[in-house]
Amino acid sequence: MNRIEVEKKVLNENQVLAEQLRERYSRDGVFCVNLVSSPGSGKTLLLERTLEYMDPQARVAVLTGDLQTENDAKRLARFGFPVKQIITGGTCHLDAKMIGKHLEGWELGNLDLLVIENVGNLVCPSSYDLGEDAKVVLLSTTEGEDKPLKYPSMFFKSDLMLLTKIDLLPYLPFDADLARENARRVHPQIEIIDVSNITGQGIDRWMKWLQESQQRKRSASVLGISTGN
Amino acid sequence: MNRIEVEKKVLNENQVLAEQLRERYSRDGVFCVNLVSSPGSGKTLLLERTLEYMDPQARVAVLTGDLQTENDAKRLARFGFPVKQIITGGTCHLDAKMIGKHLEGWELGNLDLLVIENVGNLVCPSSYDLGEDAKVVLLSTTEGEDKPLKYPSMFFKSDLMLLTKIDLLPYLPFDADLARENARRVHPQIEIIDVSNITGQGIDRWMKWLQESQQRKRSASVLGISTGN
């Protein structure tokens, strides 16, 4: 078997497991978001702001992936919601098998929202379906306007782009309009919200997006329509 | 053949080609640098500053890798040195085969310095030797201090870390000492230079590092000592 055949087999196996996860999420009424971005675009800080903003009774849980360290899970655990770290040990993405394994011990029926923070990588995570209802890509203002064109698969597959570190705009040679235009060239329907994890700008819109997306899934479910990838 | 066996086979094949490249560089007296980082850490802008700083008679060439677009080659070509774009078409790293292919048509004997700008990705490029004499990793101040711990392989394998976007420090909750400490925890001998591609801070030190590294290779070659990975 050559490399491309093995690659295809791995992706096919992942797809089977991802569909099983998607069915579980639907059956248990969980909305699942897969957060993707370059390293350091602000995924963990966004999650801190998100959990801080949540009602303490909210039924939310987080799986956070990294090649090494438990740092992110430690940062996120202090908000009192269930959090687990997935250490990939060098692998450049999360896959559906890792998600299934780390969901063990959690009763999905007790959750409304599951957020997965993927490994910081704009390439490989785009190939691995985790059964999520939506992919959300973070692009930070410090990364340059051209990233959607250079990494098109990730932006094409994402439902929402969060343009993070928007507070740094005054100090950067960054054309936010051009960045948005580039994202829409790759994916005309992509939604875009400007966000600052430092000043809190846009966090309310992001929370609203999360709530409305969950609501949409619930309504679709009542009507027997499936959502997701 | 299972996935890990195929992975090993691919890496072994790459290693054979990388050694051939290394021999060519040595025979022709070329110093080869492999620039690696997250997307948007400033590799291309650093190269613009570097080429701008060069004597117009300098014998330097650049290979620049991206999943898509010829943008970087266009940006770099205006300095008058030979530049080629490598479009990986979705692959998350450059490999030795791509380098060999894109070196065709260039007379290495006419070069002193070959700079390879890898795909923006802190994970996969660390596994693929390109026959380079040195890996240089860029970490930008906007990415967070923890990246060397989260992506240890890349920092362990790099000879030099350029701490980029140092001009943004006043606007960021970023502890530069901690970032340097984390890099040294992973790789105690790593050299570190603070750089701003905007203000030009540190570019002279980076140019000096390049010159001294080339000089060291030449001296080692006279003494019959091999350098590189």
- Inform me whether the pLDDT recorded for A110 exceeds 90: yes
How many C-beta atoms surround the C-beta of residue A151 within 10 A?
A: 28
Mean per-residue pLDDT, A80-101: 97
Own/partner long-range contacts of B186-191 (Cβ < 8 Å, ≥24 apart)? B186/B148, B186/B149, B186/B152, B186/B155, B186/B156, B187/B148, B187/B155, B187/B156, B187/B158, B190/B155, B190/B158, B190/B159, B190/B160, B190/B161, B191/B159, B191/B160, B191/B161
Reported ipTM: the value is 0.91
pLDDT of residue B227: 58
pTM of the model: 0.94
Q: Which residue of B has its CA nearest to A3?
A: B6
Residue A90 is given by DSSP the state: T
* pLDDT band with cut points at 50, 70 and 90 for residue A150: very high
pLDDT of residue A226: 64
pLDDT tens digits, A139-149: 999 999 999 99
- Inform me whether the pLDDT recorded for B228 exceeds 70: no
CB contact under 8 A, A67 and B149: no
* pLDDT band with cut points at 50, 70 and 90 for residue B1: low
* pLDDT band with cut points at 50, 70 and 90 for residue A229: low
CB contact under 8 A, B142 and A69: no
Write a three-state SS string for B140-208: EHHHCCCHHHHCHHHHHHCCEEEEECHHHHHHCCCCHHHHHHHHHHHCCCCEEEECCCCCCCCHHHHHH
Q: Are B164 and B200 in contact (CB under 8 A)?
A: no
Residue of A124, A143, A168, A174 for testing the chain B interface, max B β-carbons within 10 Å: A143
Mean per-residue pLDDT, B169-184: 97
CB contact under 8 A, B142 and A124: no
Q: Which residue of A has its CA nearest to B43?
A: A143
pLDDT of residue B222: 80
Mean per-residue pLDDT, A107-114: 97
CA B39 to chain centre: 13
Contact residues on chain A for B144, CB-CB shorter than 8 A: 39-40
CA distance B62 to A37: 27
Which of B67, B165, B172 is the closest to A150 by Cβ?
B67
pLDDT tens digits, B54-74: 999 999 999 999 999 999 999
pLDDT of residue B225: 72
- Inform me whether the pLDDT recorded for A1 exceeds 70: no
- Inform me whether the pLDDT recorded for A92 exceeds 70: yes
pLDDT of residue B5: 79
pLDDT of residue A118: 98
The Cβ-side half-sphere exposure at B186, using a 13 Å CA radius, reads 25
Contact residues on chain B for A143, CB-CB shorter than 8 A: 39-40
Percentage of chain A exceeding pLDDT 70: 97
pLDDT of residue B11: 83
Q: Which of A88-97, B43-52, B211-220 comes out lowest in average pLDDT?
A: B211-220
Which of A92, A147, A168 is the closest to B92 by Cβ?
A92
pLDDT of residue B58: 97
Q: Are B119 and B65 in contact (CB under 8 A)?
A: yes
Mean per-residue pLDDT, A13-31: 96
pLDDT tens digits, B75-106: 999 999 999 999 999 999 999 999 999 999 99
Chain A interface, Cβ < 8 Å to B: 1-3, 6, 9-10, 38-40, 66-69, 71, 90, 92, 119-124, 140, 142-144, 146-147, 149-153, 165, 168, 171-173, 198
Q: Which residue of A has its CA nearest to B153?
A: A90
* pLDDT band with cut points at 50, 70 and 90 for residue B220: confident
- Inform me whether the pLDDT recorded for A23 exceeds 70: yes
CA distance B41 to A108: 38
Q: Are A76 and A126 in contact (CB under 8 A)?
A: no
CA distance B108 to B140: 32
Tell me the backbone φ, ψ of residue B125, rounded to 5 degrees: -60, -20
Measure Cα distances from B207 to A207, B162, B187, B200, B221 in Å: 47, 12, 22, 11, 21
Contact residues on chain A for B66, CB-CB shorter than 8 A: 150
pLDDT of residue A11: 83
Q: Are A218 and A200 in contact (CB under 8 A)?
A: no
pLDDT of residue A223: 78
Mean per-residue pLDDT, B187-201: 98
Q: Nearest CA of chain B to the CA of A150: how many Å?
A: 5
- Inform me whether the pLDDT recorded for A163 exceeds 80: yes
pLDDT of residue B125: 97
CB contact under 8 A, A39 and B152: no
pLDDT of residue A179: 98
CB contact under 8 A, B150 and A120: yes
Q: Are B124 and A124 in contact (CB under 8 A)?
A: yes
pLDDT of residue B194: 98
Which of A1, A39, A123 is the closest to B1 by Cβ?
A1
Q: Which of A178-187, A218-227, B31-40, B144-153 comes out lowest in average pLDDT?
A: A218-227
- Inform me whether the pLDDT recorded for B21 exceeds 60: yes
CB contact under 8 A, B120 and A39: no
